[in-house]
Each structure stands twice: as structure tokens, then as C-alpha cells.
Amino acid sequence: MKSLLISIVVISSFAFTSHSQSAELKSSITRGEEIYTDFCVSCHLPNGKGVERVYPPLANSDYLKKNREASIKAIKYGLEGSITVNGKKYNSSMAPMGLSDDEVADVMNYITNSWGNKNDKMITEAEVSKIKK
Ligand code: HEC
């Protein structure tokens, strides 16, 4: 009986945390979509596919999938020099857009959960603030 009670408590608290995490993620993605529309869409386009050899794709981007920290850094501080995204080279630059850490987290949650991208590990403001130049 005691162990049954314990498992009920454990299971329901797990269900509660995962629910609040997903609600938090959902509202972050909604804010991120707005930031994307304001700051990113002109180059990476509404479908996230970018422009081949000019603006790299975010949709299905292996770079974004494999380089969580470098992607946050790129949005926070800008990115310059040669990178390869889905087998194509880009040697250009993206200027920093002056977003705050929570805005970087929101737009990261949006782009890593859009156009078929999927990221269960929510990006937080605290994670972004730890990433230095
Ligand atoms: C003026 C055009 C422009 C804007 C606006 C822009 N980017 Fe970029 N972005 C680029 C270019 C060009 C690169 C590749 C830079 C290089 O070659 O080093 C890039 C690279 C990236 C990358 C890493 C490569 C990849 O495809 O996964 C990410 C992630 C990214 N941008 C996200 C964003 C987000 C999020 C925003 C809005 C907050 C944004 N960008 C706004 C032009 C832009």
C-alpha cells in the first residue's frame, strides 16, 4: 500500500512537471514566432528554407540540429566565416540583432520546433546567458 501511494505521488508529480514544461515551451515558441517574423524572416524566409548559397536553411538544418550552442551564439553575437549546412558551404555573415537572452531563447525554441524540426529540450534564458562570445 505504501509503495503504491509513493508511485502515485511520483507519477502524478512527473505528469505535472512535464505538463508545465510543455506549456512553457508552447508559449516560448509563440513569442519566438513573432521575433522570427520581425528579425529573421527576410533572410531565412517564412518556410525556413533560406536561399541556397546565400542564406542557409533553418528547416531541417543539420548545423542547427548538431550545434545547439554555436547556433545560440550565432543569434546572440552574430556569425561570420565559412560554415557548411546540409552539405552546402556558406561563407557570409549574419550581424547580431541585439536580442535579449530571453528573446534568443524564444526564437531558438521556435526555429528548433518548426518546419519539421523537433527539439524536446527547451532552451531557457539561463542557458543563453551562460553562452559567452
Ligand atoms: C540579413 C540576413 C539574415 C538575418 C536577418 C538573419 N540571418 Fe541567420 N544567417 C544569415 C547568414 C548569411 C548565415 C550564415 C553566416 C555564415 O556564412 O557564416 C546565417 C546563419 C544562421 C544560423 C546557423 C546556420 C543554420 O542555417 O543553421 C542560424 C541558426 C541562424 N542564422 C538563425 C537566425 C535567426 C534566429 C535570425 C533572427 C533572429 C536570423 N538568423 C536572422 C543571414 C541572416
Q: What is the pLDDT at residue 20?
A: 74
Would you say the CB of residue 98 lies under 6 angstroms from ligand 1?
Answer: no
Specify the pTM. 0.90
* Buried/exposed 38-65: b ≥16 CB within 10 Å, e otherwise: ebbeeebeeebbbeeeebbbbbebebbe
Domain-embedded: residue 2: no
Q: Which of 57, 55, 62, 71 is nearest to 108 (CA)?
A: 71
Q: Which pLDDT tens digit goes with each residue over 35-67?
A: 999 999 999 999 999 999 999 999 999 999 999
Q: What is the mean pLDDT of residues 79-88?
A: 98
Domain-embedded: residue 28: yes
Kindly report the CATH number assigned to the domain that includes residue 85.
1.10.760.10
pLDDT at 10 over 90: no
Distance 57 CA to ligand 1 centre (A): 8
- How many structural domains is the chain composed of? 1
Distance 56 CA to ligand 1 centre (A): 7
Task: Give percent of the chain with pLDDT exceeding 70.
Answer: 86
Would you say the CB of residue 79 lies under 6 angstroms from ligand 1?
Answer: yes
Q: Domain residues for 59?
A: 24-130
Domain-embedded: residue 66: yes
Domain-embedded: residue 59: yes
Q: What is the pLDDT at residue 13?
A: 58
